[in-house]
Amino acid sequence: MSQHGASTAGGQRVHRTQSALQPRRPTLFSYGRSDDRYRTIRPLNREYSTEQGYVSNGISTSKYTWLTLLPKNLFEQFHRLANVYFLFIVILNWLPMVQAFAKEIAMLPLLFVLLVTLVKDAYEDSRRRRQDKETNRRTAMVYDKGTGEWNSGIEWRNIEVGDIIQLYQNEIIPADMLLLDTSHEDGICFVETANLDGETNLKQRRLFMERTEAFDPDAFSETSQIECELPNNKIYQFNGTMKIRGHKEIALDQNNILLRGCVLRNTRRAIGIVVYAGHDTKSMLNNTGPRSKRSKLERAMNYQILYCCLILVVMCVAGGIGAGVWKSDRDWKDILYIPGKDDYAPAEEGFIRIFTYFIILQVMVPISLYVSIELVKLVQVYFIQEDEKLVYVDPANQHRHKMMCRALNITEDLGQIQYIFSDKTGTLTQNKMIFHQCSINGIHYSHPHDDTATFQDARSFPLDQSLVEDLEKDGGFDDDSVLHNFMLSLAMNNTVVPNNEDGELKHEAESPDEAALVAAAFVYKYVLLNRKSGRILLKLGDDEYNMEILQTLEFDSTRKRMTVIARLPNGRIRAFIKGADSAIMDIMKQGDSDLREKTEAHLHDFARNGLQPQARLRETYLAIEKEVTLLGATGIEDKLQEGVPEAIATLREAGIKVWVLTGDKQETAIEIAHTCRLMDESQSTILLNSQLASKHHSKPRSKRNEALHEQAAKETGDIIRGKLSEIEQPSARNKPLALVVDGATLSYAMLDQNSDAFLDLSLRCAVVVACRTAPLQKAQVVKLVKESIDVMTLAIGDGANDVSMIQMAHVGVGISGQEGMQAVMASDFAFGQFRFLTRLLLVHGHWSYDRIASLILYFFYKNSSLVFVIFFYQFFDGFTGQPHIEQMYLQTYNLLWTSLPPIVTGIFDQDVTEDALEAFPMLYEQGREDLTYKGRFWPIILDSFYQAVVIFFVPYAVYVDKLEDNGMLVMGTISIFCIIIANLIQNMILTRHYIWIHALCLAWSFFGVFAFAYIYNSLLLETPLIPDPYYVMQNASSDATFWLLLIFCPALAVLPRFLAMFYRRWWHPTTSQLMREDWIKDQRRRKPLPLWLNPCLPWSVLSCRR
Could you give the residue numbers annotated as active site? 423
- Is 464 part of any known ligand binding site? no
Distance of CA 193 to the CA centre of its chain: 21
β-strand partners of 739: 686, 768
Strands 611-619 and 573-579: antiparallel
Give the DSSP letter of residue 614. E
Phi, psi of 1033 (to 5 degrees): -65, -40
Residue among 362, 344, 354, 352 at smallest CA distance from 317: 354
Contact 414, 837 (CB under 8 A): no
Provide DSSP, 329-393: HS--TT-SS-TTTTTS-HHHHHHHHHHHHHHHTGGGS-THHHHHHHHHHHHHHHHHHT-GGG-EE
Residue 423, annotated ligand binder?
yes
| Amino acid type, 128 | R
* Phi-psi group of 734: left, alpha or beta (phi > 0 → left; psi -120 to 50 → alpha; rest → beta): left
Q: Is 1087 annotated as a binding residue?
A: no
DSSP 938-988: HHHHHHHHHHHHHHHHHHHHHHGGGIIIIIHHHHHHHHHHHHHHHHHHHHH
Binding residue per annotation — 663? yes
CA atoms within 13 A on the CB side of 867: 27
d(CA 484, CA 604): 24
Contact 862, 948 (CB under 8 A): no
Question: What is the distance between the alpha carbons of residues 1078 and 1081, in angstroms, rounded to a whole number?
Answer: 5
728 is in an annotated binding site: no
Residue 875: CB atoms within 10 Å: 13
Of 89, 113, 74, 108, which is closest to residue 372 (Cα–Cα)? 113
DSSP designation for 162:
T
Could you tell me how many helices (H) and strands (E) the chain has, helices first?
38, 36
Q: Is 762 helix (H, G, I), strand (E, B) or coil?
A: helix
Q: Name the CA dihedral angle for 943, 948, 951, 954, rounded to a multiple of 10 degrees.
A: -100
Residue 798, marked binder: yes
Beta bridge partners of 164: 273
954 vs 327, 870, 944, 970, 1041, CA distance in Å? 28, 14, 15, 13, 12
**Which residues, in sequence order, are CB contacts of 1066 under 8 Å at separation 6+?**
1103, 1105
Q: Any binding-site annotation on 218? A: no
Measured distance CA(491)–CA(206) in Å, rounded: 20
| CB 781, CB 770: distance < 8 Å | yes
Question: Could you give the C-alpha distances from 949 to 369, 885, 956, in angstroms and in order?
Answer: 24, 15, 10
**DSSP characters for 1019-1038?**
S----SSS---TTHHHHHHT
> Is 835 assigned a ligand-binding role in the annotation?
no
Residue 389 known to bind ligand: no
Inter-CA distances, 574 with 213, 458, 565, 617, Å: 30, 28, 6, 10
Q: Burial level of 1007, CB count in 10 A (0-12/13-18/19+)?
A: exposed
Can you tell me the distance from the alpha carbon of 940 to that of 249, in angstroms, rounded to the nearest whole number? 72
Amino acid of residue 243: K
What is the Cα–Cα distance from 96 to 89, expressed in whole angstroms? Answer: 13
Cβ 136 vs Cβ 58: under 8 Å: yes
CA angle 767–771–775, rounded 5-degree value:
110
Helix (H) or strand (E) holding 400: strand 400-401
424 known member of a binding site: yes
> Is 578 annotated for ligand binding?
yes
Binding residue positions for ATP: 423-425, 514, 555, 578, 662-664, 772, 778, 801-802
Binding residue positions: 423-425, 514, 555, 578, 662-664, 772, 778, 798, 801-802
Binding residue positions for Mg(2+): 423, 425, 798, 802
